[in-house]
Structure 1
Amino acid sequence: MQNGDDGKDDSENDEWETLATVVDKILAWEKKLYDEVKAGELMKLEYQRKVALLNRQKKHNASIEVLEKTKAAVTHLHTRYIVDMQSMDSTVSEIQHLRDNQLYPKLLDLADRMAKMWEDMHMHHANQLKIVLNLKAVDISDSHIETSAHHHSHTRQLREIVEKWNTNFSDLMNHQKEYINALYSWLKLNLVPIESSLKEKVASPPRMQQPRIKAFLQAWNEHLTKLPDDLAKTAIVSFRAVLDTILSVQDEELKQKEICEHTHREYMRKARAFEDWYHKNSQRGKFEVDQESGEGTGHKDAVAERKFAVESLKSKLDDEIEAHNRLSKQVREKSLSILKAHLPELFRALTDFSNVSFDMYSKLRLMSLMEDQGNN
């Protein structure tokens, strides 16, 4: 959007520049510099070829007309080369300006923001550590809550979130290391002067070989390589394994519950079938026994046999329900025990790491402030 006052694009204002756009501008200028250096090298080769030709012509006593023509070509190439080198110097100066007046302040701002982020993260992780340490006082010995499908789904969801957490944390650590290392590697190349055998004849602006950004990026790169992020990564991976264990015992409990439900349905089916059969045959008098002849005894035996089958299934169901209740309690106790042991480890590691990260970025910013004061 344009500014209504002057009609200028806000993107022209340094205030609206981002670190990405500054780096992109440097890239554009460096592509221009690359083309200029390439053209300059070709120009130098052509100049050297003409100089060699002029020397051969002098050696072989060429005519004045030929010599003057070659000298004119040499002079023309030399003039063009000087102009090209001055244009190259202008491009180098622009890159240096972007580096020192836009890139460096943006990196200082990034370090400030990273320090603030890790300060906030340290506060949150410290609070989380306090909360999980209170788990030690939690007692569920009298709890009869069992794992539901909804509960199991939430546990699986937590496992997936921790997996993403592990991936994102690793990416954050790796990407910032790669980014700062790439910037520092570029800077070291950026500070290498462009040499030329004709350069001493060109009025080039002086080049500052040790800009403030160099010490800053060097320190940042070194600090990142020493950052103890492995402990935090290990803590997250360990917690992911803990959730795998909890999911495993919950799966076992849910399978036991399915067995109970299957047996319960079978028991209800057979109990209803027995009641229907018994009611139907009772109305027909089939279960009455003649005391003299003993007729009907077989029917009584059939009743006893069928009733025993139903009661056996009921006994099996009771055993399975008891096993499920026992397993359910074990799952609760084991899950809580695991969380009591590993959640404090997780958040203690993250609290320590966020504190180290905050300290690192604070030192980076302090180093730049002290350097600024020293230059003033």
Structure 2
Amino acid sequence: MTPEWYSLSWFSPETLRSFTWGQKLFLYGLLLIPFLFSIRWLLFVRFRQKLALTMPGKRFYWSLTSLLRFIPDLLVSMVVALIIIALARPQRINQRVELSSMGIDIMLVMDVSRSMLALDFQPNRLEVAKKLAKNFVNNRFQDRIGVVVFAGDAYSLAPLTTDYDLLNHLLGDINQNMIQNPETALGTAIAVTINRMRESNSKSKVAIIISDGESAAGNIDPLTAAKLAKVNQIKLYTILVGREGMVQAVNSEGKIVQQNNTVDETIMREISRIGDGRFYRASNAAALQSIFKQIDAYEKAPITEARYKDTEDFYQIYLRWALVCLVAWIATKCTFMNNILED
């Protein structure tokens, strides 16, 4: 609530610091006021000394009441200071920014099979993929994002939503025990993704498939599923994670063993080709992070920004105070009060 103009709160340091000054250079004029007042004081002292010389028999005593003669000068100084503050244009600016975006729909399709626990990524492939997926989500604006997890089966973990806090929570909870079938069903995962996205009215629909193995399960051929995705105007990005050759992995008993890791790039490349997307191969965490950044840049939606600035001036407040001080100066300088102050 804005105080009345006669409130002394307009002179508090908090209030003065809250202003934006339209003509800030005028504030330097306030530095001249103490200088001029000091000159007035020196002239007064000098005048008393001369008066003492011309009237040697007269003693002049100093008293606190003699300071009353400076009241008119003080009032004039206040008038000048208040006018300077008004000229500096104290104001408050409320800036409102409105952003509009043609949000796109993105489905993160994540492999949670046991092979995603391989230790060629630290701490493992799945944890790195989860972390980077969270970063990807946090860099989006007004995009609806959903999550599908798959191994030998697939199911939707999160529908398309803009609740990014919920998505981060669900991504953090992903683990290899979510689906008991340990194999990889790429076709089924794409089919579940299509079911989630086919009702979308978005002009741009994207699925990002993260997997480390060849499709060896499911009742739907991955290439057939990719063709269905294209019919539904869903763009498919595929990311193949992991190194070929001997890697440390976790077996069915939870023990770390050495195993030969083989990958089939052909199927992942073909899925991305059919789905009008891109294929990426990530052999380490840094490469996977770079891939997410590239996809984030490719699929940015245009954002329109509108800025509204509301400016409220408060110079009238200080002009009113200047008028009050001016009236007070006239009362002390041009009336019987002047005689009282001089005596």
More helix per residue: 1
More RCO (CA 8 Å, sep 6+)? 1
Larger radius of gyration: 1
Q: Report the TM-score, using the length of structure 1 for normalisation.
A: 0.26
> Hey, which of these two has a bigger chunk of strand by percent?
2
